[in-house]
Amino acid sequence: MLTHHTPHRSRAVLATAFSLLAALLSGCADAAPASPPKAAADGLLPFVGVLTSDDDHWCTASVVDSPGRNLLATAAHCIYFQKEDKADGYEPGPFKGDLRFAPGFSGSGSGAGEGSGAGKGPGAGEGSRSARYPYGTWKVTALHVDTLWTDDNDDQGDYAFLTVAPDKHGRRIQDVVGAAAADWSSSPRRRVTVVGYPNEEHNPRNRPTSCTTRTRRDPDEPYMIRMECPGFWPGTSGGPWLADHRDASRPGRLIGVLSGGNTDHESVAVLFDHRARTLYERAVRGRGGTPVRA
């Protein structure tokens, strides 16, 4: 099983990481001699944002194209907790409370509470003081999680699709911020742009970090792909892996979401496949999801 990057499960040797500020500002270090990764000119994408509750945020999510124009993709560990998460005050099972999505989020002084207790999900802070919500916050009404995660705590199922309610004007989220279509049969070797929101400790301005690089199959977990790029600290879990991304109007194809990694330099994602597609199709039909209850 993947060792998730968390306060109570981490085996990341963060003390050996070079300058945190340099890592964030430089965006990326070389991952492959032929195609060194680079920082995106502007990490803000309207369809990428944070999961939030009571002014705290702890994970990244993105809008995925769907017929109902109302679905998000994120990591399962961000919204469905396991026994070991109890140490952080989370009862095992689905998220309970007022769960919302803030697309295009940015702003200083916003914390992330204790986070999800898995992957690169948890953040830290006291809540938003000068955060910006350019597209508002959108209520999450249902969680669609693979039984590999809910029943077996298996990292192979560390992805989820969330149903989002229309806003007070009746608009659907995809119509407001756009979306990336999913690719269910991608090669593990792709040029991708990965986007995520690190926690406030490493990202005081609460702006997303992004990296464009190439992926490869993870040697330890063949169902996962990996990339090497610094700056992907706790908080980036659930962030989209976008193949052939150009800009907000040409988002590329979603091939997975960030699951975890041993350090901020190493990140992995479950490569979307037929099983992920089956879960997505259930979410599209509105079947089998877990309602979000306060």
Give domain status of residue 128, yes or no: yes
- Per-residue confidence at 200, pLDDT binned at 50, 70, 90? confident
Give domain status of residue 4, yes or no: no
Q: Which residue has the higher pLDDT, 48 or 19?
A: 48
Number of domains into which the chain is organized: 1
pLDDT higher than 80, residue 140: yes
Q: Determine what percent of the chain is predicted with pLDDT higher than 90.
A: 62
- Per-residue confidence at 99, pLDDT binned at 50, 70, 90? very high
Give domain status of residue 142, yes or no: yes
Give domain status of residue 197, yes or no: yes
Give domain status of residue 53, yes or no: yes
pTM of the model: 0.81
pLDDT higher than 90, residue 232: yes
Q: Residue 279 half-sphere exposure, CB side, CA atoms within 13 Å?
A: 29
The sign one gets for the Cα dihedral 43, 44, 50, 52 is: positive
Give domain status of residue 147, yes or no: yes
What is the DSSP secondary structure assignment for residue 73, as one 8-state letter?
A: E
Q: Which residue has the higher pLDDT, 215 or 121?
A: 215
How confident is the model over 77-88, as pLDDT tens digits? 999 998 777 667
Give domain status of residue 293, yes or no: no
Give domain status of residue 192, yes or no: yes
pLDDT higher than 50, residue 118: no
- Per-residue confidence at 262, pLDDT binned at 50, 70, 90? confident
- Per-residue confidence at 206, pLDDT binned at 50, 70, 90? confident
User: Are 117 and 6 contacting, i.e. CB atoms less than 8 angstroms apart?
Assistant: yes
Residue range of the domain that includes 24 = 14-287
Distance CA 101, CA 33 (A): 37
How confident is the model over 145-160, as pLDDT tens digits? 999 999 999 999 999 9
**Whole-number mean pLDDT of the chain?**
81
- Per-residue confidence at 107, pLDDT binned at 50, 70, 90? confident
Distance CA 62, CA 81 (A): 20
User: Are 269 and 224 contacting, i.e. CB atoms less than 8 angstroms apart?
Assistant: yes
CATH classification of the domain holding 138: 2.40.10.10
Distance CA 142, CA 144 (A): 7
pLDDT higher than 50, residue 35: no
Is residue 157 classed as helix, strand or coil in its secondary structure? Answer: helix
Average pLDDT on 114-125 reads 43
Distance CA 36, CA 52 (A): 33
